[in-house]
């Protein structure tokens, strides 16, 4: 395709906003732009190396992979060059002019929020990559040529909302980025340093990019005096400028060293480097295993989940290496989905470099490593829970929901996972409780673990079904996350203690004494014909009507049958576009309530009267409302209440 000579284009609106944030530098440490650009270069080299496995011609006869930094203090520029895969014209527009990330809108909203509150840690989650160049440069010029293609592309912008793009010649494959630097010093602490200074750059590479797997080279300008025959400097001879190519990074993968030789700072730097986080991780797991499969794993638990962690299609964050050489990103077989928040890498000599993804996925060795990793992570979580509870709570707040989904998606480790779960409960308004602690507090005669599901604590605490349990001092777990009830259902019981919803079936409260039970069963018998009439009136809406043994001051409540899904699960499934799953609804009436007597009188007076029918519908509507559900015909419901209100004041 022939491209127009030179195009003037506008950044996508969201990108403009992002650029604006960059230019008005919301970050305190602008120096990280270098890490970002070097890491992009390294990614491009990875991609080329991978593609070249099956297409050697892409290398164009040069199989050296390298990154070059060319600072120039005189012109105040810094050039960062790689001979990686490069980009085509369309790819430049696609990648550099737009933010290709999911949920761009919410991303920006959060960004701005973070900028406004100057919450740099929060900003750190966003990894703005290429755009960080505009923190230090007043102009950015990108020249790139995709490996194997003829034409190059030149892209240029001053970060003002527009850019130009044109085809150009470029001899070598890959990408060169020329930054025309702002006049400002690198930081307030070092007023004379600039990002075009070779020593500053050397320091920054050591600090942030030491473990990049490709050499980061720079021509060092040196003033040197000529040497005499013994190799000593001739003191009185005039100095001359010489250049020397130096590789700035050690390229030694940290994980191959012994644990004892690695500092925490080194672990953290590598993490930030590899996973574009700006914040230290919460936990590091480094393990070497020799057995059926030999491998080293270096795993991290990030302090914060990415802002869109629970929305997007999840990808695993574990990279796979073989003998220090990168094979692939996001190797899904290495950790189950519920642990997708864990980032890190696995390096194993047992995997070959040019194995295809498909073959790799079938590899039993990979599965074995995966199972081991899962165990290792679970063990770490267990240790945190028992030995560093405050840290565990932080982790739980970020990833608790993911762990809960593990209970119903991962059968093998259910036993271990259930010990890691925490829930709010009626026991304390602040602290969460584990099943183990709940059981430890259970009175001897209590056989079940009680729970109530709802949208929030206030709603659950006011459920009519809660009243009796509260009065009896029975602790109730609050399931407030949409995944909770599914997890509890999947577990069924904890160490022989059945999970019992307060809105389902028989509550089985020991000390609600046989007396109450007997009473309610007698009452049910006594009122059999009334109950049948109510049921008849609500045909198609409910499965049964009963006299309740769980109500105190409310006239009615809705509970679900012992089998099948619960009412709150039904709501969640409906929100997830599964409206066909319905809970079986049982309407329970409180025989001790005045309304019951009115209903009974109406029935006895004239069973088929409109008034009796209205009362049935109204009671059902109320029960729905208390569960957070709308009556099926809200207008009819409202009209009936209006009539009732006028009748009452006639």
The residues binding ligand ADP (CB under 6 A) are 40-41, 44, 82, 84-87, 95-96, 127, 129-130, 175
| C-beta closer to ligand ADP: residue 268 or 275 | 275
Nearer to ligand ADP, 40 or 249 (CB): 40
- Radius of gyration over every alpha carbon of the chain, rounded to an integer in angstroms: 33
- The DSSP letter of residue 4 is P
Distance in Å, CB of 130 to ligand ADP, minimum: 3
Q: Measured between alpha carbons, how far is 546 from 549 in angstroms, rounded to an integer? A: 9
Contact 316, 331 (CB under 8 A): yes
CA atoms within 13 A on the CB side of 426: 24
Distance CA 534, CA 613 (A): 8
**Rounded least distance, CB 20 to ligand ADP, Å:** 16
Would you call 545 helix, strand, or coil by DSSP?
Answer: strand
* Spatial contact of 163 and 63, defined as CB atoms under 8 Å apart: no
Question: Which residue's Cβ has the minimum distance to ligand ADP?
Answer: 129
Least distance (Å) between residue 38 CB and ligand ADP: 9
Q: What's the CA angle centered on 151, arms 147 and 152, to 5 degrees? A: 75
Residue 109 Cβ vs ligand ADP, minimum distance, rounded to whole Å:
19
- Of 113, 94, 90, nearest to 12 by C-alpha is 94
480 close to 400: Cβ distance less than 8 angstroms: no
Backbone torsions φ then ψ of 618, nearest 5 degrees: -65, -40
Largest CA distance in the chain: 125
Nearer to ligand ADP, 149 or 376 (CB): 149
Q: Which is nearer to ligand ADP, 179 or 623 (CB)?
A: 179
Nearest Cα neighbor of 8 from 166, 163, 167, 154 is 163
Using the minimum distance from each CB to ligand ADP, give the nearer residue, 73 or 329: 329
Cα–Cα distance for residue pair 640/650, rounded to 1 Å: 15
Closest CB 587 distance from ligand ADP, rounded Å: 55
Minimum CB distance to ligand ADP, residue 22 (Å): 11
Taking the complex as a whole, the smallest distance from the CB of residue 222 to ligand ADP amounts, in Å, to 29
Query: Cα 195 to chain center, whole Å?
Result: 34
* Nearer residue to ligand ADP within complex by CB, 85 or 196: 85
Task: Let me know if 362 is exposed, middle or buried by CB neighbors in 10 A (0-12, 13-18, 19+).
Answer: exposed
- Judged by beta carbon, residue 46 or residue 588, the one nearer ligand ADP is 46
Nearer to ligand ADP, 37 or 293 (CB): 37
- The residue (of 46 and 537) whose beta carbon lies closer to ligand ADP is 46
Nearer to ligand ADP, 143 or 556 (CB): 143
CB of 550 within 8 A of CB of 557? Answer: yes
What minimum distance in Å lies between the beta carbon of 481 and ligand ADP? 30
Write out the H or E segment, with its range, that includes residue 295. Answer: strand 295-301
CA separation for the pair 189, 598 (Å, rounded)? 81
CB of 391 to ligand ADP, least distance (A): 28
List the structure tokens of 156. Answer: 């240029």
* Nearest-approach distance from CB 79 to ligand ADP, in angstroms: 12
- SS3 (DSSP) at 302: coil
Separation of alpha carbons 108 and 458, rounded Å: 32
Sorted by sequence, the CB contacts under 8 Å of residue 466 that are 6+ apart come out as: 426, 452, 460, 476, 502
Smaller CB distance to ligand ADP: residue 85 or 165?
85
CB of 86 to ligand ADP, least distance (A): 6
């Amino acid at each position: 395709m022939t491209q127009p000579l030179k195009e003037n284009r506008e950044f996508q609106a969201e990108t403009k906003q992002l650029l604006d944030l960059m230019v008005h530098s919301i970050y305190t440490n602008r120096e990280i732009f270098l890490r970002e650009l070097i890491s992009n270069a390294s990614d491009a080299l990875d991609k080329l190396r991978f593609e070249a496995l099956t297409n050697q011609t892409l290398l164009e006869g040069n199989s050296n992979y390298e990154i070059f930094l060319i600072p120039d203090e005189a012109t105040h520029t810094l050039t960062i060059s790689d001979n990686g895969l490069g980009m085509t014209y369309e790819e430049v527009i696609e990648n550099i002019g737009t933010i290709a990330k999911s949920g761009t809108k919410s991303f920006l909203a959060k960004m701005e929020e973070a900028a406004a509150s100057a919450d740099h840690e929060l900003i750190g989650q966003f990894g703005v990559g290429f755009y960080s160049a505009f923190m230090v440069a007043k102009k950015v010029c990108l020249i790139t040529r995709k490996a194997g293609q003829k034409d190059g592309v030149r892209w240029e912008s001053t970060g003002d909302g527009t850019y130009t793009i044109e085809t150009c010649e470029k001899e070598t494959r890959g990408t060169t980025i020329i930054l025309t630097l702002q006049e400002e010093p690198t930081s307030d602490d070092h007023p004379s340093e600039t990002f075009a200074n070779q020593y500053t750059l050397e320091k920054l590479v050591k600090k942030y990019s030491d473990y990049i797997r490709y050499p980061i080279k720079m021509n060092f300008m040196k003033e040197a005096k000529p040497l005499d025959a013994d190799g000593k400097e001739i003191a009185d001879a005039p100095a001359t400028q010489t250049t020397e190519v130096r590789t700035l990074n050690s390229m030694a993968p940290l994980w191959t060293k012994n644990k004892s030789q690695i500092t925490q700072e080194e672990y953290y730097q590598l993490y930030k480097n590899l996973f574009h986080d700006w914040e230290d991780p919460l936990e590091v797991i480094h393990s070497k295993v020799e057995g059926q499969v030999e491998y080293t794993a270096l795993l991290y638990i990030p302090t914060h989940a990415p802002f869109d962690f629970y929305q997007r299609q999840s990808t695993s964050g574990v990279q796979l290496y073989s003998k220090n050489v990168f094979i692939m990103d996001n190797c899904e077989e290495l950790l189950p989905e519920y642990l997708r928040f864990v980032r890190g890498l696995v390096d194993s000599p047992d995997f070959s470099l040019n194995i295809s993804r498909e073959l790799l996925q079938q590899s039993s060795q990979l599965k074995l490593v995966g199972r081991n990793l899962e165990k290792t992570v679970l063990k770490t979580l267990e240790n945190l829970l028992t030995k560093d509870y405050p840290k565990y709570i932080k982790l739980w707040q970020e990833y608790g929901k993911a762990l809960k989904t593990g209970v119903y998606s991962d059968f093998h480790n259910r036993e271990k996972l259930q010990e890691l779960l925490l829930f709010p409960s009626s026991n304390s308004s602040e602290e969460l409780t584990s099943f183990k602690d709940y059981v430890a507090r259970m009175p001897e005669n209590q056989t079940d673990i009680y729970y109530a599901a709802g949208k929030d604590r206030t709603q659950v605490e006011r459920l009519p079904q809660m009243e009796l349990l509260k009065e009896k001092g029975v602790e109730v777990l609050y399931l407030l996350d949409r995944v909770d009830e599914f997890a509890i259902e999947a577990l069924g019981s904890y160490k022989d203690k059945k999970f019992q919803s307060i809105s389902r079936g028989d509550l089985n409260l020991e000390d609600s004494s046989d007396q109450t039970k007997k009473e309610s069963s007698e009452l049910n018998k006594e009122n059999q014909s009334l109950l049948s009439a109510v049921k008849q009136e609500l045909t198609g809406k409910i499965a049964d009507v009963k006299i309740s043994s769980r109500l105190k001051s409310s006239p009615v409540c809705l509970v679900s049958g012992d089998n099948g899904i619960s009412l709150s699960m039904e709501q969640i499934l409906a929100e997830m576009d599964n409206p066909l799953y319905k809970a079986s609804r049982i309407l329970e009436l409180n025989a001790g309530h005045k309304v019951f007597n009115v209903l009974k009188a109406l029935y006895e007076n004239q069973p088929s009267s409109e008034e009796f029918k209205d009362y049935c519908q109204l009671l059902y509507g109320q029960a729905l409302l208390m569960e957070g559900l709308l009556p099926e015909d809200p207008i009819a419901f409202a009209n009936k209440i209006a009539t009732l209100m006028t009748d009452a004041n006639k």
